[in-house]
Amino acid sequence: MHVNSCGSMADLDALKTICTEHNLILLEDACQSIGGTYKGKALGTIGHAGTFSFDFVKTITCGEGGVVMTNSEEVWTKCDGYTDHGHDHKGVDRGADLHPFIGYNFRISELHAAVGLAQIRKLDTFLSLQRKHNKALRAYLETIPEVSFRKVPDEAGDSCSFLSWFLPTEELTKAVIAEMKEQGILAGNFYWYANNWHYISKWDHLKNATTLNKLSDVQQQALLKLKDSSFTASDAVMSRCISTAISLLWTEEQIKEKGEKMVAVIKKVLTNATVNA
Ligand SMILES: *Cc1c(COP(=O)(O)O)cnc(C)c1O
């Protein structure tokens, strides 16, 4: 299970090859990438099953909720029961349903779903704005040779909800973040590497397997293994990455102002580093 993170996608051909070779199923967390595609296929529909989240920060929202997508009737039937206390939905009423397995109440409400239906109609508009604003902001950062950009396996399929960019070193990246904070322009720019929620270095609850319920031994051992795992390859990438959230509401004037301020901050940091070297 990979994450099609920040509006874009994983290298899906490579993952599919690994799955086929080792007889694994491929699950797509596409919660951040609705509307994105890979070689013409919608993200979230390429693996055996995929998910979208409709929580309040996602590209489209129901307030809360999400969906599972699959082409497998068996998975669909199991998801349908699992999200609703294990009901098989074959009875003439709720009391007549049978329960082939234990489920949960992960149902989306009718009211939330109604909001979601209205949002879906706006998705194409949102995507075209995201793509336009992303491209416009990127043009400013592209003027700095030291800045590089996330490798997107299929550029045409990027939903463009974020622009993820890199500086040459961790030190420079941290300095840019500090300077953006200093100048009051940090909002909407995410340094996932140092954040308590989006990167594994701070996931002590997971690494210590701290749960309120009792885990099975297998689950617990799997989590505890993370403690001794090394993530140096990921660290090397994430310590240099800043993701800028793309707003639907920006005007051309605001993009210009934002772009110019970001470029000024980066140039200032790069110049200081050269002077101090
Ligand atoms: C938002 C998100 C989730 C969780 O979605 P919820 O609707 O809050 O459960 C899972 N994975 C990714 C990658 C997300 O961005």
Is the CB of 243 within 6 Å of ligand 1?
no
Is the CB of 53 within 6 Å of ligand 1?
yes
Q: Which atom of ligand 1 is nearest to the CA of 57?
A: 1
Kindly list the domain boundaries of the chain, sorted by start residue.
2-121, 124-276
Q: Which atom of ligand 1 is nearest to the CA of 58?
A: 1
Contact yes or no for 119/60 (Cβ under 8 A):
yes
Residue with the smallest CA separation from ligand 1 atom 4 is 53
Q: Which long-range contacts (C-beta less than 8 Å, at least 24 apart) are formed by 168-176?
A: 168/240, 169/240, 170/239, 170/240, 171/273, 172/146, 172/240, 172/269, 172/270, 172/273, 173/239, 173/240, 173/241, 173/242, 175/269, 175/272, 175/273, 176/242, 176/265, 176/266, 176/269
Q: Please give the share of the chain, as a percent, with pLDDT higher than 90.
A: 97
Residue with the smallest CA separation from ligand 1 atom 11 is 31
Domain covering 124-276 in this structure, CATH number: 3.90.1150.10
Q: Which atom of ligand 1 is nearest to the CA of 66?
A: 7
Q: Please give the share of the chain, as a percent, with pLDDT higher than 70.
A: 100
Is CATH 3.40.640.10 the right assignment for the domain spanning 2-121? yes
pLDDT digits (tens, 9 = 90+) for 137-193: 999 999 999 999 999 999 999 999 999 999 999 999 999 999 999 999 999 999 999
pLDDT the model gives residue 14: 97
* Mean pLDDT, residues 104-129: 96
Please give the structure tokens belonging to residue 15.
Answer: 């993952």
**For the whole prediction, is pTM greater than 0.85?**
yes
